[in-house]
Amino acid sequence: MRAAVIQLSCQEDVSHNLARAGSLADEAAAGGATLIVLPENFAFMGDEADKRRIAERLDGGGPIVSWLAALAARTRAFVIGGGMPEQSADPARPYNTSVLMGPDGRIAGAYRKLHLFDIDLPDGSQAYRESRSTCAGDEASVVAAGDMRLGMTVCYDLRFPELYRRLSADGARVVTVPAAFTLMTGKDHWHALLRARAIENQVFVLAAAQHGKHPGGRQTYGKSLIVDAWGDVIAQASDGEGYAIATLDFAAQDRVRAALPCLQHRRF
């Protein structure tokens, strides 16, 4: 399987963000990608009031979901819409939902972000309170993408290894990590955490990230990448918008799991 992770620098203009994402996804598909991962907030990064306004139902035929369906059908690929506002029971707090769209243009799976980013940055430059404007999900998600089992996570989930162990135990061979990692934390932790999750669970990790400056003074790290089951980074995007693409060799993954059968040695 060829997989690609798309790197964006999203702002408040939904139409512009989707157009840019679609253009890069088309390029990745032309390069053979049949699994394409978009970053968290791929449609919108901006004021929370506007995020609530554009929140959609997944089954409601809204503009973002309809765009994802058209993109997947056009590229004939599985497309991960990394994180979009989905309506919840609380109108003020939509879910942050990652959607897997199949090449038939139908939703093949979805995951609502479990761990919400409530943190003061160590340098004191900024504070985030995602829980004020976002409703947390309550279930892990492993779904079928063709013959392959895929685990879905979003951004801050990366710091909770127990989630990834659950996904591995449920049969995931690939885990997606759409993200908007801060510059401050990303420069020290992004690569280390992604490689650790891949090594611990002997999975491919596909991490699609936001990069650059966004409304409200937010700045993200980028470095979208693909990690194999041994923990090697096999593809990485440069700074700015773009994508990284690589072939996922599942036979090689099987050899890693056979040579170092730690998944069979688990006690908990």
Catalytic residues: 40, 113, 155
The strand pairing partners of 242, in sequence order, are 7
- Single out the residue of 170, 258, 243, 166 nearest to residue 209, CA to CA: 243
CB neighbourhood size of 231 (10 A): 16
**Sign of the torsion formed by the C-alpha atoms of 104, 105, 106 and 107:** positive
Give the whole-angstrom CA distance, residue 266 versus residue 253: 18
Residue 221 structure tokens: 């790290």
Q: Measured between alpha carbons, how far is 43 from 164 in angstroms, rounded to an integer?
A: 26
State the CB neighbour count (10 A cutoff) for residue 139: 8
- 43 and 79 in contact (C-beta within 8 Å)? no
Q: How far is CA 134 from CA 114, 118, 253, 264, in A?
A: 10, 11, 36, 37
Residue 254 zone, left/alpha/beta (φ > 0; ψ -120 to 50; rest): alpha
